[in-house]
């Protein structure tokens, strides 16, 4: 076996061991969240590059509401600065940010119990990038899976400095508010590990603002199994692919999209994700929106074929999202309220960010 193969195998084994350890820790955290939610602060969020879709709802939004309702302090970021990491412009970013806020509230995020804020409104958060960048190497950043994937997607276009430092910006998001917990899928663990590395290196290199406690805690991962909801074309649901069912779509638009969804030629409906991913995806969506079991739903449809399946899914999705969509419409009709929610969240985030930056400057002996 070549040295390269040995190295690859060792890296894979290390990665698997690290993932297993993260999963064990995540299970313990879940138990503690129920018993002692007041111990935890969670940071989560989205890039406002397009409209949020039902994949976002089942993949992350519903979990945010769950954590909030447990009593966990919840911080939700609209990462507007991160829109320009790999794009030439911002597009209709203001509209997308407020649409996202409307979605958060309609899905159950309570602005009295959660802090909803934007990157660009929190100067002290972004100022943390300067000391944080001194703690990482360009090689570490270039190895980051998301940086590599985003760069490859540009077709060889030169990488912007902001894209290269994307993981450091994410670390600043997590650390500025001293979040203890970040809900992630296993593919996002490298980002969280970068934040942990930066927190540790800051303590080692620059010290502390008070003798007993590091400025930054080591954030933990709350691992979740990625909800693999496919888009209407049978590939991963993604804003960039245009294959999404948006949370805010009306019932007719949803019906048209589901009617076009890819299935297969077998009229007998069965739940078999390995052999029939498209059909199984629709069954999963039906199960998520009705609380049923995908295999039982498939048995009920039987030989009804793709048409009957799509009719069932359409009814299930539209019924489930009807109250969310109605509340969303009410919120969008009152832009002044959305502005108040975001202004209040930004104000809270600025207070915390300024306090953290003050600690950083003290630790770095830059307080004049």
CA distance 260 to 113: 40
- Using 50, 70 and 90 to split pLDDT, how confident is the model at 187? confident
Q: Is pTM, for the whole model, over 0.85? A: yes
- Rounded CA separation 97/83 (Å): 11
4 — pLDDT class (breaks 50, 70, 90): very low
Which residues fall within 8 angstroms of residue 346, CB to CB, at 6 or more apart? 117, 118, 121, 122
- Tens of pLDDT, residues 78-112: 999 999 887 778 889 999 999 999 999 999 999 99
Has residue 23 got a pLDDT over 90?
A: no
CA atoms of 290 and 226, how far apart (whole Å): 19
The residue extents of the domains of the chain are 36-227+335-363, 239-332
Type and span of the H or E element at 43: strand 41-46
Average pLDDT over residues 352-359: 98
Give the confidence band of 333 by pLDDT, cuts at 50, 70, 90.
very high
- SS3 state of residue 114: strand
pLDDT attached to residue 152:
80
Closest CA to 127 of 175, 88, 77, 87: 175
Whole-angstrom Cα distance, residue 77 to residue 346? 10
In whole numbers, what is the pLDDT of the chain averaged over residues? 90
pLDDT of residue 301: 95
**pLDDT of residue 7 exceeding 60:** no
CATH class, range 239-332 = mainly alpha
Q: Where are the beta strands (DSSP E) in 87-243?
A: 114-118, 181-184, 220-223
Q: Which two tokens stand for residue 312?
A: 């069932």
Model pLDDT, residue 227: 66
Nearest 5 degrees, angle CA 325-CA 329-CA 332? 135
pLDDT digit string (tens) for 266-314? Answer: 999 999 999 999 999 999 999 999 999 999 999 999 999 999 999 999 9
| The pLDDT value given to residue 270 | 95
**Which DSSP letter does residue 232 get?**
T
316-345 mean pLDDT: 97
| DSSP state letters, 50-89 | S--BHHHIIIIIHHHHHHHHHT-EEEEEE--GGGGGS-S-
Reduce the DSSP state of residue 308 to 3 states and report it.
Answer: helix
For the ranges 113-127, 240-254, 347-361, the lowest mean pLDDT is seen at 240-254
CATH superfamily of 36-227+335-363: HUPs (3.40.50.620)
């Amino acid at each position: 076996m070549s040295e390269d193969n040995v190295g690859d195998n060792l890296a894979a084994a290390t990665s698997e061991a690290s993932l297993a350890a993260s999963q064990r820790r995540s299970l313990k955290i879940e138990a503690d969240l129920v018993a002692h939610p007041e111990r935890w602060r969670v940071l989560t969020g989205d890039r406002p590059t397009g409209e949020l879709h039902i994949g976002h709802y089942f993949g992350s939004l519903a979990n945010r509401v769950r954590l909030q309702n447990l009593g966990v302090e919840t911080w939700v970021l609209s990462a507007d600065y991160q829109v320009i990491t790999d794009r030439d412009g911002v597009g209709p970013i203001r509209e997308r940010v407020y649409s996202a806020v409307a979605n958060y509230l309609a899905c159950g995020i309570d602005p009295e119990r959660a802090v909803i804020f934007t990157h660009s409104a929190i100067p002290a958060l972004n100022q943390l990038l300067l000391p944080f960048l001194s703690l990482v190497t360009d090689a570490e950043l270039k190895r980051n899976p998301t940086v590599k994937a985003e760069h490859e997607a540009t077709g060889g276009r030169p990488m912007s400095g902001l894209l290269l430092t994307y993981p450091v910006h994410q670390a600043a998001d997590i650390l500025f508010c001293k979040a203890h917990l970040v809900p992630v899928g296993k593919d996002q663990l490298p980002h969280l590990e970068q934040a942990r590395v930066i927190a540790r290196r800051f303590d080692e290199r620059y010290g502390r603002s008070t003798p007993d406690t590091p400025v930054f805690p080591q954030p933990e991962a709350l691992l979740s199994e990625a909800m693999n909801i496919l888009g209407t074309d049978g590939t991963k649901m993604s804003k960039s692919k245009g294959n999404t069912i948006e949370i805010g779509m009306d019932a007719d638009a949803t019906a048209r999209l589901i009617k076009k969804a890819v299935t297969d030629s077998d009229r007998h409906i069965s739940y078999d994700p390995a052999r029939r991913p498209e059909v199984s995806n629709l069954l999963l969506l039906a199960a998520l929106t009705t609380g049923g079991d995908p295999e039982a739903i498939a048995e009920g449809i039987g030989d009804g074929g793709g048409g009957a399946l799509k009719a069932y899914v359409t009814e299930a999705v539209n019924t489930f999202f009807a109250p969310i969509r109605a509340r969303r419409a009410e919120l969008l009709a009152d832009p002044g309220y959305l502005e108040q929610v975001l202004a209040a969240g930004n104000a809270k985030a600025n207070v915390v960010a300024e306090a953290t930056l003050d600690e950083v400057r003290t630790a770095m002996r830059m307080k004049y």
